[in-house]
Amino acid sequence: MATSKQGKRDKTNLVSSIKHLFVSGELADVTFVFGGNTSKLHAHKLVLGMRSPVFKAMLYEPLSDESAREIYIEDEGPEIFQVFLRYATP
């Protein structure tokens, strides 16, 4: 049986691992492309789907295009979207 201290350590390790994936882009499975293909940000569908009902529907619902690897965003720059991705990452 896990102790309270071990449970906290496991949670800390999980959060650290997810943050590492965000920073490194390792294992990213979706790319956000901004205005004219000049900037791209890589992300993880699983994290986006867990943290946002909009992305969950967009990426996982039956009518979603599950093969979509790129999402084009014309009306926002990568700087603002990067802030959102940081917020969405635990």
Share of the chain above pLDDT 90, in %: 13
Share of the chain above pLDDT 70, in %: 82
Domains and CATH numbers, the chain: 4-88 (3.30.710.10)
What pLDDT sits at residue 7?
61
What pLDDT sits at residue 36?
74
What pLDDT sits at residue 30?
92
- The model's pLDDT over 53-90, given as tens digits with 9 standing for 90+, comes to 998 988 888 766 666 788 888 888 899 888 988 888 77
Cα–Cα dist 14/89, whole Å: 11
